[in-house]
């Protein structure tokens, strides 16, 4: 999908925004201990982005949203997968 296709697909934008809200809210519910074990993950920015979306949805810059989708989410997926694997392996 291109940025042009994305910006013209209101349903997809709504779905992406909603999923980012859920991820941010879930981040807020993680324990401080877990977050402290993984200081390289930018927990504050993840939760903060959720707040930005919730309080300023109609002002969301689609280019910023697209940049996050393309450049940040793939890296975050790798980080989270590693955290989950490590946590399962340690039994925490």
* Annotated catalytic residue, options 12, 18, 37, 55: 55
Q: Which residues contact 63 (CB under 8 A, 6 or more apart)?
A: 3
50 in active site: yes
Query: In angstroms, what CA-CA distances link 85 with 39, 41, 50, 60?
Result: 16, 15, 25, 33
* Annotated catalytic residue, options 12, 29, 50, 86: 50
Q: Active-site residues: which are they? A: 50, 55
């Amino acid at each position: 999908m291109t940025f042009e296709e994305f910006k013209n697909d209101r349903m997809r934008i709504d779905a992406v925004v909603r999923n980012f809200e859920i991820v941010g809210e879930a981040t807020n519910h993680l324990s401080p201990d877990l977050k402290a074990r993984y200081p390289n993950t930018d927990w504050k920015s993840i939760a903060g982005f959720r707040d930005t979306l919730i309080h300023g949805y109609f002002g969301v810059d689609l280019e910023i949203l697209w940049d996050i989708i393309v450049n940040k989410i793939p890296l975050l997926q790798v980080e989270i997968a590693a955290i989950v694997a490590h946590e399962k392996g340690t039994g925490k």
